[in-house]
Amino acid sequence: MKIGFIGLGNLGAPIVENLLEKGHALHVYNRTASKAQPLANKGAVVCTSVKELSTICDIVFSVVADDAALNHITQGNDGIAANLKAGGIHISISTVLPATSKHLSEIHQQHNNLYIASPVMGRPEAVRARKLNFIVAGDNSAIAIIKPFLADAGASGIWEFGENVSHANVAKLCSNFLIASAIEALAEGINLAKNSGMDAQQWINMLTQTIFSSSVYINYGNIILKEAYQPPAFSLRLGLKDVNLVMEQAAETNAQMMFGKALQERMHQCVANGLGEYDWTAIALALKEKSVV
Amino acid sequence: MKIGFIGLGNLGAPIVENLLEKGHALHVYNRTASKAQPLANKGAVVCTSVKELSTICDIVFSVVADDAALNHITQGNDGIAANLKAGGIHISISTVLPATSKHLSEIHQQHNNLYIASPVMGRPEAVRARKLNFIVAGDNSAIAIIKPFLADAGASGIWEFGENVSHANVAKLCSNFLIASAIEALAEGINLAKNSGMDAQQWINMLTQTIFSSSVYINYGNIILKEAYQPPAFSLRLGLKDVNLVMEQAAETNAQMMFGKALQERMHQCVANGLGEYDWTAIALALKEKSVV
């Protein structure tokens, strides 16, 4: 089977490297063509358009920045759906609205091919360590076909959420909301500990060996303690984008989100203050009396 | 050494049982005397006043409801400090303000005995499972003396935060703030997942096996999913008390706490709505469109 990959950014590029390492022949496309060159050097075939790539491939991965970009590459005469062969599978890794997945899945059905929502949990270092968790939903037989490819892409976990594609996106948005909340809570707790004259590192060490012994608290706690906000593994700008999606889904489903709203305002303010290309843990900087930027 | 124990509530009573099981002779006191009877049946000697108990014992544990209660039993002619022998040790397990610990430690010093701040992480079921984590600060030699008693009381971990007693209380308040934040975030995430038509249990199962694989998310996630808010393992009333202390410490140290403030308002509202004696996870009920109470 011929595999295509659209979107060669922070996540896409190392996932492509993982697939190449496992011996897959890959066709790749990126809007900014220069990003494809390092992968071409490792054996990927560079396509000049989404249409060209989609015509050639049986399975097309996409990782793009937002709902608009995903709509753009999927819909229309030059899009993935219209050019992928019958029975072909589009694996959409991007974090987008549940309604976007539902809509694009219907468009794929009209072209007799398939859309699988497969958002991923894991920062770039997790791609390289092959510790990604894919959250998948869509047609069961298509999922059975793609699972070995997700494994080769770097999955340590593949979590199936049924045939309704939108449920994978709901799970991903809810997960990112929990991470963002944990970051803000860690930032406020560490700041209170420091302002109280205590060794905040010692406190985090205790917590992450006891009741908060999970990767989110270990990793983000350490980033905030070290103030290691650059380079961003996941930018504040993209974090705000995701929290905006969370709040859009909350409005859509009439769900109260007090923390969600507070996070949205904080992140919006941080981006306005010039922190958009810092890691999203840099929301901790908002707690300092004077802005550092 | 003679061991005393003041405060035989949700936490105190099972800790006393642990100490009795390990063969310690115990003197106990509780303001509401009837709570001492089950422990007397297991061999504890019941005292009729704090003063009587403090005069008899070498080490006095206390677990009381709040700063006022701790001040009351510690200070004055009938208090622990004035009646404990020279070199005696008061182990204060209550969650109180750092400034309260500092003040009471000074009073103990005036009476040539010692105050150790030793707030504890763990709900009643953790006491019985001997999985408590004590956060201790104070005089080093006194801590060396009490560690075997903390172990017998049910410690799986004893975390030392130096000689400044207030630091143990800071660590405890910051920890409780992180737990309360995780509860609210879980509640909002689970509510959004449900409102979006998804299986929220499946989502929590994924998270607690991946990036949130810690006891706080496992335990509180399941309580919220099951809406198992009664009986309370830790009441919303006491949760609000702790968040009030967090915000008092934040004001004292000029620390911004956006989530802390939101939690304080939410919990205050929940207690006003009659949820004070529900488990503190019942803040999730505030997300339902109509109050259940």
DSSP B173-242: HHHHHHHHHHHHHHHHHHHHHHHTT--HHHHHHHHHTTTT-SHHHHHHHHHHHHT---S-SSBHHHHHHH
Q: Which residues of chain B have pLDDT under 50?
A: 291-293
CA-to-CA dists, residue B212 to A69, A104, B236, angstroms: 30, 31, 24
Q: Using CA atoms, how far apart are residues A172 and A9, in angstroms rounded to an integer?
A: 19
Residue in A159, A217, A257 closest to B206 by CB = A159
**Residue A120 pLDDT > 80:** yes
Contacts (Cβ under 8 Å, ≥6 apart) of A194: A200
- What is the rounded radius of gyration, in angstroms, for the C-alpha atoms of chain A? 20
Print burial letters for A42-55: b (CB count within 10 Å at least 16), e (below 16). Answer: eebbbbeebbbbbb
- For chain B, the first-to-last Cα distance in angstroms comes to 50
Chain B nearest CA to A289, separation (Å): 9
B172 catalytic? Reply is yes
CA-wise closest residue to A90 among A98, A77, A99, A71: A71
Question: Which chain B residue shows the shortest CA-CA distance from A207?
Answer: B175
Q: Give residue A291's pLDDT band: very low, low, confident or very high (50, 70, 90).
A: very low
Q: Residue B173: list chain A partners with CB under 8 A.
A: 192
B77, amino acid identity: N
The beta strands (E) that lie in chain A are given as: 3-6, 26-29, 45-46, 59-62, 89-92, 114-117, 120-121, 132-136, 155-160
Q: Three-class SS string for A228-281?
A: CCCCCCCEHHHHHHHHHHHHHHHHHCCCCCHHHHHHHHHHHHHHHHHHCCCEHH
Question: Which chain A residue shows the shortest CA-CA distance from B206?
Answer: A159
Q: Residue B157: list chain A partners with CB under 8 A.
A: 206, 209-210
**Residue B123: predicted pLDDT:** 86
Q: Do A181 and B185 touch (CB under 8 A)?
A: yes
Residue of A194, A243, A259 to mutate, testing the B interface (most B Cβ within 10 Å of its Cβ): A259
Among residues A131, A172, A194, A241, which one is catalytic?
Answer: A172
Instruction: Assign A146 to helix, strand or coil.
Output: helix
**Residue A292 pLDDT > 90:** no
**Residue A289: predicted pLDDT:** 61
Do the Cβ atoms of B117 and B165 come closer than 8 Å? yes
Q: Using CA atoms, how far apart are residues B236 and B244, in angstroms rounded to an integer?
A: 12
Element (H, E) at B92: strand B89-92
Strands A132-136 and A155-160, how do they pair? parallel
φ, ψ of residue B44 in degrees (nearest 5):
-75, 145
Chain A nearest CA to B150, separation (Å): 17
pTM: 0.96
Element (H, E) at B45: strand B45-46
Q: Residue A192: list chain B partners with CB under 8 A.
A: 170, 173-174, 177, 246, 249-250, 253, 255, 257
**Residue A149 pLDDT > 90:** yes
Q: Residue B178: list chain A partners with CB under 8 A.
A: 185-186, 189, 207, 212
Residue of B121, B181, B211 to mutate, testing the A interface (most A Cβ within 10 Å of its Cβ): B211
Q: Do A178 and B159 touch (CB under 8 A)?
A: no
Chain A nearest CA to B204, separation (Å): 9
Do the Cβ atoms of A162 and A112 come closer than 8 Å? no
* pLDDT, tens digit, 9 for 90 and up, residues B128-175: 999 999 999 999 999 999 999 999 999 999 999 999 999 999 999 999
Chain A nearest CA to B235, separation (Å): 19
Q: Residue B125: list chain A partners with CB under 8 A.
A: none
**Residue A290 pLDDT > 80:** no
CA-to-CA dists, residue B12 to A80, A130, B15, B57, B230, angstroms: 64, 47, 5, 17, 20
Q: Do B191 and A255 touch (CB under 8 A)?
A: yes
Chain B nearest CA to A169, separation (Å): 10
Q: Residue A197: list chain B partners with CB under 8 A.
A: 164, 167, 170
CA-wise closest residue to A132 among A14, A292, A263: A14
**Residue A214 pLDDT > 80:** yes
**Residue A33 pLDDT > 70:** yes
Among residues B85, B172, B226, B290, which one is catalytic?
Answer: B172
Print burial letters for A164-196: b (CB count within 10 Å at least 16), e (below 16). Answer: bbbbbbbbbbbbbbbbbbbbbbbbbbbbbbbbb
**Residue B291: predicted pLDDT:** 44
Sign of CA dihedral A172, A174, A179, A180: positive
Residue B22 tokens, joined: 């390990």
Element (H, E) at A16: helix A12-21
**Residue B187: predicted pLDDT:** 98
Question: Which chain A residue shows the shortest CA-CA distance from B284?
Answer: A256
Local structure of residue A137 (DSSP, 8 states): B
Residue B250 tokens, joined: 């934040």
Residue in A166, A193, A210 closest to B170 by CB = A193
**Residue B289: predicted pLDDT:** 61
Give the mean pLDDT of A69-88. Answer: 98
Neighbours of A220 (CB within 10 A): 22
Give the mean pLDDT of A254-276. Answer: 97
Helix (H), strand (E) counts: chain B: 13, 9
Q: Do B258 and A184 touch (CB under 8 A)?
A: yes
Rounded (10°) angle between helices A140-153 and A12-21:
90
Strands B132-136 and B120-121, how do they pair? antiparallel
Q: Do A185 and B185 touch (CB under 8 A)?
A: yes
